[in-house]
Amino acid sequence: MTALAQVEADDLKALYQELILDHGKNPRNARLVEHASCTAKGNNPLCGDRITVTARVNAAGVFEDVAAEGKGCAISIASASMMTEALKNLPVATGRQVFNAVQQLCTGKIDVAAAKAMLPATLNDEIEKLASLGGVKQFPVRVKCATLPWHTLLSCLDGQADATTEKV
């Protein structure tokens, strides 16, 4: 295998690592939240992927439950699945910081260590997991796939009904 071919193969492995494939095939919390306080549909007009994110935020501003269901590629479904796990029981404000970190990981602006430094140490394990989404940084057209669920959640929190990947 040539050096370039090896790099390409490694890029693919980094994108489709086991954790991503596992969450892509067996998404956690692929349902609708009961008594949701916010709901939004996300849509990637490029590929037609659609996702519905629902969440219940309590009076203290904490995510009691987050769920995402829809159709999409391995990257968007895995990202949605990991998002629902990472955000449960987190204050909404911290959740927004997590999104910020994920977005920067996916575009290659920061590495895992920098992402950890942005957030409380209790989230280190979750950040390790979410960092697997960072493989998309070598595939610019796929960044939107990874961020779609997060944008959808954000528009749900901000009281908008819909999100599209045109906001990256």
Partner 1 sequence: MSALARTLPIRAFDVAEIRMDFPILSRQVHGKPLVFLDSAASAQKPRAVLDAMTQAFECEYANVHRGAYWLSEKATTNYEAAREKVRAFINATSDSEIVFTKGATDAINLVAASYGRMVLKPGDEIVLTALEHHSNIVPWQLIAEQTGAVIKVVPINADGSVSVDRFADVICAKTRIVAVAHVSNVLGTVLPIELIAQLSHKVGAKLLVDGCQGIVHEQVDVQALGCDFYAFSGHKLYGPNAIGVLWARAELLAAMPPYQGGGEMIAIVTFEKSTWAEAPAKFEAGTPPIVPAIGLGAAIDYLNGIDRTAAAAHERDLLHYAMAELPKVPGVKLVGTAQNKASVQSFTMDGAHPHDLATVLDRSGVCVRAGHHCAQPLMDVLGVTATARASFGIYNTRGEVDALIVALHKAREVLQ
19 part of the interface to partner 1, by CB under 8 A: no
Residue pair 98/115 in contact by the 8 Å Cβ criterion: no
* Shortest distance in whole angstroms from residue 24 CB to partner 1: 8
Residue 28: C-alpha distances to residues 69, 86, 116 (Å): 9, 11, 23
Whole-number minimum distance, CB 25 to partner 1, in Å?
Answer: 7
Cα 149 from Cα 30, distance rounded (Å): 12
**Contacts with partner 1: how many residues (CB under 8 A)?**
25
| Site residues (CB under 8 A) for partner 1, limited to 23-52 | 25, 46-50
Q: Does residue 142 interact with partner 1 by CB under 8 A?
A: yes
Q: Are 41 and 99 in contact, with CB atoms under 8 Å apart? A: no
> Which of these ranges, 15-23, 57-65, 85-93, 118-126, lies near partner 1 under the rule CB under 8 A?
15-23
Cα 83 from Cα 98, distance rounded (Å): 9
| Out of 8, 125, 128, 166, the residue judged to bind partner 1 by CB under 8 A | 8
**CA-closest candidate to residue 73, choices 160, 8, 151, 143:** 143
Based on the shown chain and the rule CB under 8 A, indicate whether residue 18 belongs to the binding site for partner 1. no
The C-alpha atoms of residue 101 and residue 117 are separated, in whole angstroms, by 10
Closest separation in Å from C-beta 130 to partner 1: 19
In the complex, which residues of this chain contact partner 1 (CB under 8 A)? Answer: 2, 4-5, 8-9, 11-13, 15-16, 21, 25, 46-50, 71-75, 139, 142, 145
